[in-house]
Structure 1
Amino acid sequence: MAPATRGRYRPISDYGIIGDTHSTALIAPDGSVDWLCWPRHDSPALFLRILDDGRGGLCTVEGGAGQGEPRPAGRRYLPGTNILETHLAMAGGEATLTDFMPVNPPAPLSEEGPDGEGETRLIRLLRCVSGCVSGWFRVRPAFDYGRLQAGAAAHPDCVLFSAGGHRLRAAGSAPPELRGNEAWIPFSLRQGEEAFLVLTHGEQGREPPVHAEGVAHRLAQSRRYWEEWSARCGYRGPYREMVLRSALCLKLLCYAPSGAIIAAATTSLPEAVGGTRNFDYRLAWMRDASFSVGAFVNLGYLREAAEFMRFLREIGEGPGAELRLLYGIKDPPAPEETLDHLEGYRGSRPVRIGNAAKDQRQHDIYGEFLSSLHLYVDRVGRNLPHSVGRHLKSALRALAEQALARRHEPDHGIWEIRGAPQHYLHTKAMLWRALHSAARTAEIMGYHDLDIAGWDRAAGEIREEYHRRGWSIRRGAFAMAYGSDRLDAAVLRAVLYGAFEPGDPRIAATLEAVQRDLATGDLVRRYDADDGFPEKEGAFAVCSFWLVGCLALMGRTRPAKAMFERLLGRANDLGLYAEEFDLATGEFLGNFPQGFTQMAVINHALRLDGSIARFGLRD
C-alpha cells in the first residue's frame, strides 16, 4: 500500500460514536463525521470517509480565513450519556463541539416497544469557551455509499441535498451559503456564544428548521434520556465507568423499532489492513445479540432482553421457527455485495455490504440463545411480560428439539470458517448448554410436562462425547474439532459456559497451550487453523477477555485482575473497542465499535468481582 493512501486515514481508535438507537455516527477527534447511515443502522451511508477519504462526503468544522484547521484538544462523553463533547483549539481561541442525535422517551411507555423515539437528526453545537473563533460548518453528503451525486438547492434558511429518493437538509444558526454542491454555514463567536448545525434526513425543505431554542430543548431531553437509562445500571463495582460505557455502547447498537441488536456499527473495517477480511457487521447475529442480552440482564436492563425476544417474534421466528445465524434488523438480510468504487480503509478491499455468512449453519447459536433466555427467566421468574410468557413454553420445546436434531451434524463453527463443515468442539459444548439451559428454564417455569429428563440425558451424552472426542493427544489440549490437532480459543468460552470444569487438569493444559501458541502477551488469536484467507488476522479482542474469565474461575484471581486491567487500558480514550488488535502494534482492527468486545468488558468485570469475592486475591 502506498504511504499516501495509509496517511489519509485515521486510526480506528480515533473515533467516538453517537446515536439514537436507530442509527449511529462516528466522529473523529477534529469533529469530522466520517461514518453515518440513515435512517437505520443498515441503510446506505451518506458520510463514509472512513471507507473512502475522497468519495466519502464531508461534514466538518472548518477554520475561517487565517484561522487554520481546528486542532483536537481532548474529548469526553457527558457523564452517563452518548452525547460527545470535543474540544477544539483554533487560532483565535478554543471551542467545544457537542454532537448528539436527539432521542426522547415515548409517553406513555408501553410494556413493549421502543423506549426512545429518534428524529433522524444530527445536531452539532459549537460553543466558544475562550477568545474568538470563526469558521464554517461544511456539509457535502455522498448518498448511497457515494454511488449517487447529490444535487443541492439553496433556500433562505437551509440547503436541501437530494439524489434519487434520498434527502438531507442542512440548516444552522446562520443562513447557509451554497458553494458548488456543498453547504457552508458560517460562525463567528466570542466567549460564551454558540452556533449550531442541524442535519435532518428525509425532509423536503418545507418544514421549519430547528432554531436555538429547539437545539437547547433537544439537548436537555436527550441528556435526560441517557442519564435516566444509565441510572438503572445495576453494577456498582470497581469498574463501573468502563462497564457503563460498554452498556451505553450496546444500547446504541440496538435498533429500537424492531428490538434487534447489531454486531457493530460499521462495515468493511479490515481485520488485516490491506487484505480481504472486510465484512458487514450491521446485522443481528443470533450469537452476538444473545450475548448482548446476557450482558443487559446481568446489569438489570431487562427491557432490552425482552425487546430482542419481540424482534424474533415479529420477524417471523415465533414458536417452532428454526433459529438462523443472522437476521436483518427489520427485513431479510440483503445478499453480500461488493462496492468496487470505494477505496476501502487504507486501501483494504473489497468493501462489502451484506454478509454471505447468512447461508452458513452454526449450531452453537442454540446454546447462545437458550443460555441467555435462561438467564433472563432466572432473573424475572414467573413474572414475565405477557408477550414473552405466552410463547415461552412452545418456544422452549421447539428449540430443544432443534438442538437435539443438530447434535450429530457438522457445521461451520463460531468463527464462520468458509470451508467444509466439521464437528467443532465449541459447537458440541454449546449444544450441551442449549439442552441444559432449556431444562433449567422449564424447571423454573414449572413446565413439568416438557421432556426435562430427556433433555438432561441427551445433554449428558453430548458432554461425554466432546470430552472424549475433543482431546488432541499430540497437542495435549482440547482441539478445535473432532480429529483435529488445531487449537481454538473458543474452548475457553466453553469453560465459561460450564461445558468443562475449570479445575479439570486437561483444561489447565489447554489454557497453557493457548497461552503458549495463540497468545502474544495479553493478545490472543482465535485459532491456528487455515481459514481460506491469504492474509493473517490480528488478535481477536474478546478471546483475551475469555482468558481472563478462565483464570478467574480457576481461582487465579491476581493474574486475572492484572490482565483485565491491562485490557481495559487498551480501550480508546472513550472506553470503546474494535473487533481485533494488531499483534505487533496493538492498533485497532475490524469493525467498530464491536459489541462482542464491549459485552466482554461487562461480563468479565462481573465474573472477576465474583471470583475475588469467592477466592480472594491469589495466584
Structure 2
Amino acid sequence: MTDKAIADYAVIGDTCTTALIARDGSLDWLCWPRHDGPAVFLALLDSERGGACRLVLDGLTEITRRYLPNTNILETTFVTATGRAVLTDFMPLHRHESVPEEGPDGQAQAQVVRRLACRSGRVSGRWRLRPSFDYARAPTEATTEGETCIRFRGGGDTIRAVCAVPLALRDEEAEGAFALGAGERADLVIAHGEKHGVDGEGLPGAVDDSLADTRAYWEEWSGRCTYEGPYRETVLRSALTLKLLTHGPSGGIVAAATAGLPEAVPGNRNYDYRYVWMRDASFTVTAFVNLGYQREAAEFLRFLREADTSRGRDLHLMYALDGAVPEEEFLDHLRGWRGIGPVGIGNAAADQEQYDIYGEFLVALHGYLEAVEYDPPVKVNDHLPEALGHLTDHILRARHAADHGLWEMRTEKRQSVHTKAMLWVGLDRAVQIARADPKHRLASPDTIAGWERAAAEIRAEYHARGWNAAPGAYTMAYESDDLDAAVLRTVLFGAFDPHDPRVAKTLERVGEELGAGDLIYRYRMDDGLEGDEATFTACSFWRVGCLALAGRNDEATALFERLLSRGNDLGLFAEEIDAETGEQRGNVPQGFTHMAVINHAVRLAAADRETPTDEPDCRAEADAVPA
C-alpha cells in the first residue's frame, strides 16, 4: 500500500486528542486518551503494521470534502458508479450547561463518530477496523459483544466499535459490509475505555444527537471570534485548528498532532511534536487573545501554574501534558511514512538550553494582560510580581550566555542573535507590564529602570555583534557567516527597525540564499543531521510581515495569498513544504504555522488601515478530485 501524501489528511478532535482522516476516508492516526498518549491507529507511519479504520466503497469515482462551516466536523462526499454517499466524521464535544471558570469548556466523549449516509442511488462497501495498541507494540485481543459490537483490548487499553450493520471478526479486524439505498445509513462509533456506551439499535438517534450538540459547541466557539477583517475564513480555520491542539483537562497546547513525520526526504529528522513547547504555546495563546479568545489564554496560564510551581523560576523549554517529557526513543519496528525512519517518540530537545523562551512568555503574558485590561483572575494576579521577577532575572543571567537557539540544532551552543533579540523583547514587555501599574506593585521604579538599562545594552550589543559585513546581513550568531531566517522574526517584534538599511539588506540576502521562490529555508548549513530538510513554512510568512512593516504592502499581500494556496484543500498546513515538489513535510497540523497565518492576515488588514501592529498582536466547497 502506498503511503498517502501528508496534505491528504484532515484533522478532527475533542480538545483531548485528535484523529487524522485521509481523503479516502481512512482514519490513520489516533492517540488515546490524550494527544501524547500511545497511538492506537497509526497507518500514517506504517500502512501494514499500523492499525486503521478504513471505508472501502465499491465503484468509487470521485471524492470531495469540506469542514461544516465554523466547525471541526469533517464532511466527505463519495460518488460511486451507482450512487452518492456522505461521511460525517467528528469527535463528540458536547456543551456544558454552564462553562466553569477553569477546566474544559466542553464535555469530550472519548469517541470517534463516523456517520455514513447514502444520499442518492445505491452505495455498497464495507467498514474495516483494526487497532494496533501502543504504537503496534502490544498484541490485540478482540471479542464480539452481539451482532454489531466488537471490543478490542491491548497494552492495557480498550476500544469498542459499534456499528449500524453487523460486524464480523476476521484475524483481529472487524468488517461491516453494507448495501445502502437513498436515506439509509451505516454509522460507526469507536469509543475509548471499558464503559459500555450505546448499542447498535439506538445508534442512529445517538449519533444524530451527538452531531447536533458537537456542531452547536463549535459554532458557538467560532461565534466568539472578534476578527472581522480580510481573510476571515482563513483566520477562523486556523483558529479552529489551534483549538484542536489544546488539551482541555490541563490547559496545555501541543505543537502538532503527530509524531514521526519527516522533515527531510530522505533523512532522520522525524520528531515527536505532541508536547507543549513554551515558544509555540505562548504564541498560540497570543493569537487566541487577539481573536477574542481570552479563556484559552487563561487556561494556558493555568497549565503553567500547575506544571511549573516555581512560578517561572524553573521554567522549562517544553512540557508533557502530564508529568515529564519522555526520553526520546525510536520505534524501529515501524517502517515510517514512505519508509523514512526511524520513527521517534519523546523528545531529546527537552534538555536543551534555549533562553529566548523567557522573552516569548513575556510577550504572551503582556498580550493577555492587555486583553483583560490588567484585571486578570486572582490566581494569575496574586503571583504576577513573583513571576515577573523570576522571568526578568532569567533574562539578566542569560544575556551573555550561549544557547542552542530557536531551531534546536543538536550541535554546540552559540551566541544566537535571535535569542539576544528576544531577551530584549522580554525586558521591553516586562517594562510595559510593570509601568501599567501606577502603584508600582509589580516592580519598583528602580527595578524598572534597571530593566530598561539592561535592555538598551542588550539591543546595542546584538546590533553591533550580530551584523556581519561579509555576507551583508544580520546572521545566526555572533561572528558567524551563517544566514538565519529567525532574524526576520525578531523584526516583527520591534527588535530591529524594519526601515533600517541593514534590515532591508538582511531581508534581501535571506531571500537570495535561503529562498526557494516564495518559500524560505530556516538555514543552509551542516546541522549534524541526515538529509536536507524542506522549507519552513512559518519563515515564509515572517517575510510577509517584514515586507508589510517596510511599507511594501502590495508585495506582502501578493506573497501572503500565494502562500495560502500552499495549504491543503481544507486550509491545513504541516511544518514544512518541499520546494521541489510542493508537498507538505513534517508534523501536521502545525500550530506554529497556523499562528503565523492568523497573525499575518491581521497584520495585512492593519497595514491597509495604516495602523501599526506588533507581532503577534492580531486583535483585531472543495474541488472534486479523482478517487
Under a length normalisation based on structure 1, what TM-score does the superposition of the two structures give?
A: 0.96
Counterpart CA distance in 2 for 1:16 and 1:552 is: 31
Question: Aligned residue for 1:497?
Answer: 493
Paired with 1:534 and 1:177, the residues of 2 have a C-alpha distance of 45
Residue-pair matches, total: 606
Question: Using the alignment, how far apart are the partners of 2:197 and 2:388 within structure 1?
Answer: 51
Out of 339, 354, 359, the position equivalent to 1:347 is: 339
AA matched with 2:440: H
Q: CA separation in 2, counterparts of 1:190 and 1:445?
A: 68
Residues 261, 587 of structure 2: 8 Å contact kept: yes
Of the three residues 361, 365, 369, the one matched with 1:373 is 365
Q: Which piece of structure 1 moves more, 378-387 or 286-295?
A: 378-387
Q: Please report how far the alpha carbon of residue 528 of structure 1 lies from its aligned counterpart in structure 2 after TM superposition.
A: 2.2
Do 1:411 and 1:421's aligned partners in 2 also have CA atoms closer than 8 Å?
Answer: yes
RMSD over equivalenced CA pairs, Å: 1.5
Q: Counterparts in 2 of 1:504-519, with a 5 A limit?
A: 504-519=500-515
- Asked if 1:179 is matched to 2:173, the reply is no
Q: Is 1:250 paired with 2:256?
A: no
* Counterpart among 376, 387, 391 of residue 384 in structure 1: 376
Alpha-carbon separation, structure 1, partners of 2:97 and 2:20? 29
1:589-615 CA distance string (max 9 Å, x none) = 110111110000000011111112218
Matches within 5 A, 1:130-145: 130-145=120-135
Cα deviation code 1:419-446 (max 9, x no counterpart): 1111000000000011111110112234
- Contact residue 61 and residue 81 of structure 2 kept, 8 A: no
Q: Per-residue deviation at 1:237? A: 1.2
- Hey, what does 1:444 align to over in structure 2? 436
Q: 1:474 aligns with which of 470, 475, 487?
A: 470
Match for residue 408 of structure 1 among 400, 406, 430: 400
Are 2:343 and 1:325 equivalent residues in the alignment? no
Contact 1:158 1:205 in 2 (8 A): no
Which residue in the other structure is 2:459 paired with? Answer: 463
| Whole-angstrom CA distance in 1 between matches of 2:487 and 2:542 | 9
- 1:192 pairs, out of 183, 189, 205, with 183
Structure 1 residue identity aligned to 2:373: G
Judge conservation of contact 1:555–1:615 (CA < 8 Å) in 2.
Answer: no
2:530 — aligned with what? 534
Contact kept, 8 Å, 1:160 with 1:205, in 2: the verdict is no
Give the aligned partner of residue 625 of structure 2.
none
1:42 aligned onto 2:36: yes
Determine whether 1:110 maps to 2:133: no
Distance 2:62 2:189 in 1: 22
Contact 1:30 1:71 in 2 (8 A): no
Percent same amino acid among aligned pairs? 55
Alpha carbons 1:133, 1:190 under 8 Å: kept: yes
Structure 2 counterpart of 1:170, from 154, 161, 164: 161
Structure 1 position 415, deviation (Å): 0.3
Contact map agreement 1:381 1:444 (CA 8 A) in 2: no
1:323 & 1:306 partners in 2: Cα distance? 17
The answer for the alignment partner of 1:150 in structure 2 is: 140
CA distance in 2, matches of 1:464, 1:254: 38
Moved more, 186-195 or 352-361: 186-195
2:585 maps to which residue? 589
Which residue number corresponds to residue 483 of structure 2? 487
**How many angstroms apart in 2 are the aligned matches of 1:224 and 1:551?**
40
Partner of 1:4 in structure 2?
none
Q: Any gaps of 5 or more consecutive residues in structure 2?
A: 613-627
SS in 1 for 2:457: helix
Query: Residue type matched to 1:178 in 2?
Result: L
Q: Is the 8 A contact 1:160 1:204 kept in 2?
A: no
Q: CA deviation at 1:320?
A: 4.4
Paired residue secondary structure (2:34)? coil
Deviations 1:451-507 (A, max 9, x none): 111111111110000001100010111010001011000000000011011111110
Deviation at 1:416, TM superposition (A): 0.4
- The Cα offsets for residues 245-294 of structure 1, whole Å up to 9 and x where unpaired, read as 00000000001100000000000100112310100000000000011011
Q: Give the one of 23, 43, 51 matched to 2:45.
A: 51
Report the alpha carbon displacement of residue 183 of structure 1 after superposing the two structures with TM: 1.2
Higher relative contact order (CA 8 A, sep 6+): 2
Rounded to whole Å, the distance in 1 between the matches of 2:420 and 2:195 is 54
Quote the residue 2:68 is aligned against: 78
Q: Does structure 1 conserve the Cα–Cα contact (< 8 Å) formed by 2:266 and 2:531?
A: no
Match of 1:216 among 183, 187, 208: 208
Please list every run of at least 4 consecutive aligned residues from structure 1 whose deviation after the TM superposition is greater than 4 angstroms.
204-210
Given that residues 73 and 89 in structure 1 are in contact (C-alpha distance below 8 angstroms), is that contact kept between their aligned partners in structure 2? Answer: yes
Segments of 5+ residues of structure 1 without an aligned counterpart are: 1-6
Counterpart residue identity of residue 105, structure 2:
D
Farther-moved stretch of structure 1 (139-148 vs 149-158) = 149-158
Conserved 8 A contact 2:265-2:531: no
Q: How far apart in 2 are the matches of 1:556 and 1:394?
A: 42
Is the counterpart of residue 99 in structure 1 residue 95 in structure 2? no
Does the 8 Å contact 1:111/1:385 carry over to 2? no
What is the distance in 2 between the residues matched to 1:78 and 1:137?
23
* TM-score, structure 2 normalization: 0.95
Distance 2:609 2:40 in 1: 49
Equivalent residue of 1:362, what SS? coil
- Please tell me the residue identity of whatever aligns with 2:355: H
Letter in 2 for 1:404: L
Quick check: 1:393–1:447 contact (8 Å CA) kept in 2?
A: no
Inter-partner Cα distance in structure 1 for 2:495 and 2:258: 33
Alignment partners' CA distance in 2, 1:137 and 1:206:
20
Distance in 1 between residues matched to 2:505 and 2:328, nearest whole Å: 40
TM superposition shift of 1:205: 4.8
Q: Please say if 1:17 is aligned against 2:11.
A: yes
Q: Which amino acid aligns with 2:394?
A: Q
